[in-house]
Chains A and B, each alone.
Chain A
Amino acid sequence: MTPHPILKNPKNIAIYLGAWLIYIAVNFLFHYYKSPLSFASSLTNALLLGIFGSLLGIAIWYAVLYSYPERVGTFNTIINHILAALIFISIQTFIIISLNKYYFGTSDYDYVSRHIFRWIAPSVFIYVAFVLAYYIYIYRVNLQEKKQEEIRLTRMVKEAELNLLKSQLNPHFLFNSLNSISALTLTDPHKAQEMIILLSDFLRYSLARDGRQLSSLSAELQNIDRYMKIEKIRFGDRIQYTADVVSNTLSCTLPVMILQPVFENAIKHGVAESIDTVHIQLSAKLEQNYLIIVVQNEFDPTSPSRRGAGLGLKNIEERLKLIYHNDGLLKYRKENNIFEVKLIIPQ
């Protein structure tokens, strides 16, 4: 529930009461000097108007809060307010007239009853002004809340998308690696242990991150080294990996685990589909403010690609778009028997 805009803090209450005191004073002085009313009548009338008005000003808020068009309909809202105003102003008028009739002089009573509109009009005006002010206030608060909610939702969706896009660990890779390890335990337990450590480090790196996090190129490359070492045990001489990295790029940042799917793709469509050696080559350099990473792999052009090709790359593209708000940060092309992926990472 929205807190009362006036009662929610002492400062607002003070300003509110101050404004009403000024209103009472002006009303009193006006009638005392500019009308035939006595001092007592002028003061009492002004005080009554002020006390009623200030209480009403506070109370209207609750009427507005429980009787707004979206809830009870526009027609009902208007009727409710007219009724409330009518009842309230009638009571106020009745009290003012009665007091003047029974406690002050006849001239006061005559004047007040002849000019009662002077006390009714400000109350009507105040009622309408408060209603409008409160409605505007409520709509503004709702609008802000809505906007914030919207921002929160978009952020949540984006976050979810990012995490989804972040390379999901491929169970195929995991089980095949475990199978290689199981083979190594038979022939070369020392190498098996080495491989378990590689695999553990790789898993740690890939699991403990969220989709938005940035990493350094050197950390990414280290992870690719692990990945390629693991895959090399599976595929042996069918894989050959070389990296050509300009040293000033090593501290560049890029989304964590953005390179691994590129290599997974190269292995899936290059190495796993071929019986010959497949070269996978990475190069990294800095151009203006962009880190340019190119990964090339050979593939067998006579082996038709299966569907699902390029899904990993699409994910990378989406991720880059979400993180850098920029299209076209991933490019790829096929030429003869070379597949090339180019990542352009803003620094």
Chain B
Amino acid sequence: MENIRAIIIEDEEPARMVLREYIKKFPHISIIAEIIDGFNAVKTINEQKPDLIFLDIQLPKLTGFEVLELIEHTPIIIFTTAYDQYAIQAFEKNAVDYLLKPFSEERFNTAIQKAIEKLAVRQNDSTTVKKVVDYISSNPPHLDRIVVKTNSAIKVIPLEQVIYLEAQDDYVMIYTTGGKHLKEKTMKYFETHLPDRQFVRIHRSYIVNIDFIAQIEHFSKETYLAILKNGTKLKISESGYKLLRERLNF
């Protein structure tokens, strides 16, 4: 049997230790790295392209799901988590294998068997994993930060720093106090997942953070302009104007 290259992504030493102990019984699985935070997880997965990863959900820097949003190479994934209702639902719905901590050696072995079978038929996990990520991102009521990848690094943008979003074909350009970032998501996605007391879709092409609106001006008969604190002017559509009025109470 071919050698399986695995990475453990887990911030708690005892949890890593259990995994190491259990993996020891499978001589053809070698642990090529142990990672304790989200940033390094993305970097290492992209560089090392492992066959299999054990991925915890609660991690420093980025969550396990945010890691999956950012990796270019999708290995077989076994999630490990202690307690996370959303995550468990997502796993169950999408038949991805997951281990609930603490887990027994038998349970672990079953997960490994499944992973080996998948690897044998070279069946890539990417579609199911994408489903899990989609499920997760569509279910918690709101996003609380946005992760983007720049050329050299990963950026985690707190929502307070997001000024506005602009539709660009299949992408969305995110304008922040520190610059702008492109993300492969739809406007619809952001419209439904950004907290609506802070973000308003003022136009087909714009979602704005109301904290950054300086004033609203009449533009033509039925359209208005939002002038932002940084001087940017954004068109407001008729329906967008109505939404703004509701949200800002004027």
- State how many angstroms separate the Cβ of A5 from the closest Cβ of chain B: 56
Q: Are B36 and A178 in contact (CB under 8 A)?
A: no
In this complex, which of B60, B84, B144 has the most chain A Cβ atoms within 10 angstroms of its Cβ?
B60
Q: Are B14 and A233 in contact (CB under 8 A)?
A: yes
Contact of B156 among A186, A303, A308 (CB under 8 A): A303
Residue B17 at the chain A interface, CB threshold 8 Å: yes
Can you name the residue of chain B whose Cβ is closest to the Cβ of A307? B144
Q: How far is the CA of A98 from the CA of B82 in the complex (A)?
A: 96
Contacts of B61 in A (CB 8 A): 273, 275, 303
Contacts of B157 in A (CB 8 A): 304
Contacts of A179 in B (CB 8 A): 12, 14-15, 18, 82, 101-102
Q: Are A176 and B144 in contact (CB under 8 A)?
A: no
Contacts of A272 in B (CB 8 A): 11, 58, 60
We find that the number of chain A residues with CB closer than 8 angstroms to chain B is 29
* A interface SS class: helix
Q: How far is the CA of A234 from the CA of B145 in the complex (A)?
A: 26
Q: Are B14 and A234 in contact (CB under 8 A)?
A: yes
Q: How far is the CA of A236 from the CA of B84 in the complex (A)?
A: 23
| A172-B82, A176-B82 given; A306·B102 CB < 8 A | no
We find that the number of chain B residues with CB closer than 8 angstroms to chain A is 25
Q: Are A234 and B156 in contact (CB under 8 A)?
A: no
Contacts of B36 in A (CB 8 A): 275
Q: How far is the CA of A30 from the CA of B248 in the complex (A)?
A: 83
Q: Are B145 and A306 in contact (CB under 8 A)?
A: yes
Contacts of A234 in B (CB 8 A): 12-15
Q: Are A172 and B15 in contact (CB under 8 A)?
A: no
| A171-B83, A186-B21 given; A180·B60 CB < 8 A | no
Q: How far is the CA of A212 from the CA of B13 in the complex (A)?
A: 38
Q: Are B156 and A304 in contact (CB under 8 A)?
A: yes
- Nearest 6 A-B pairs (CB), nearest first? A183-B14, A304-B158, A175-B82, A182-B102, A179-B101, A307-B144
A-contacting residues of B (Cβ < 8 Å)?
A: 11-15, 17-18, 21, 36-37, 58, 60-61, 82-84, 100-102, 142, 144-145, 156-158
B-contacting residues of A (Cβ < 8 Å)?
A: 171-172, 174-176, 178-184, 186-187, 233-236, 272-275, 300, 303-308
